[in-house]
Amino acid sequence: MPRLTAIAPEAAEGKSKALLEGVQAQLGMTPNLMRTMAHSPAVLDAYLKFSGTLAEGSLSKQHREQISLTVGESNQCGYCLAAHATLGKMVGLEPEQIQQSRSGSDTDPATDALLKFSRKILEKQGFVSDQDLEDVRRAGHDDPAIAEVVANVALNIFTNYFNHMAQTEIDFPEVEPLDSHGAACCQTEGSTCS
């Protein structure tokens, strides 16, 4: 059961109402994550601006979704996995790519390096090695892309942790855990994992 109630767009007030109306206009729906963030217009606005600005960067939509899946799986966020599996399909990812991305890998060497680097940022809390940077650069990624990977990892940590705290009700088709660490997440009381 959610710890923070998702605010119905018609019940929202002030800036939150305007922000949720913008989400509805852009997406054709108002996901529970954003409806829950609407408790604080500052939080929802910051999330939308950060996400929107990163969408204008050099990373493709596919790469951003793949990073989201890698981080969501590592952080055991059922809400984010469900959302980004759906969004991944919408931007053209194949089911195998979605599964591989959750594991932090891809058959394409450049994408594989990007996802492995994303996972290293997460696992090492940003303290990546010179070799980690050399590996991602050797795969063809420049400094702007590397900076955007860090930003996308950070954005996804925020949404993962927010969903863990709020126990946001999943409003996308749920996905199955990949392995025992994912399955263990689902045994935790109040987990947002599927």
The string of pLDDT tens digits covering residues 43-73 is 999 999 999 999 999 999 999 999 999 999 9
Return the pLDDT at 123.
Answer: 97
Same-domain pairing of 118 and 157: yes
The dihedral through the CA atoms of 45, 6, 24, 162 has a sign that is: positive
Same-domain pairing of 32 and 67: no
pLDDT level of residue 189 (50, 70, 90 thresholds): very low
pLDDT level of residue 97 (50, 70, 90 thresholds): very high
Q: Is 3 domain-assigned?
A: no
Q: Which residue has 């900076």 as its token pair?
A: 147
| Region label for 188, one of left (φ > 0), alpha (ψ between -120 and 50) or beta (otherwise) | beta
Question: Which residue, 20, 36, 56, sits at the end of a domain?
Answer: 56
Closest CA to 138 of 121, 155, 159, 113: 113
Q: Which domain holds residue 69?
A: 62-186
Return the pLDDT at 72.
Answer: 98
Same-domain pairing of 34 and 92: no
* Total domains present in the chain: 2
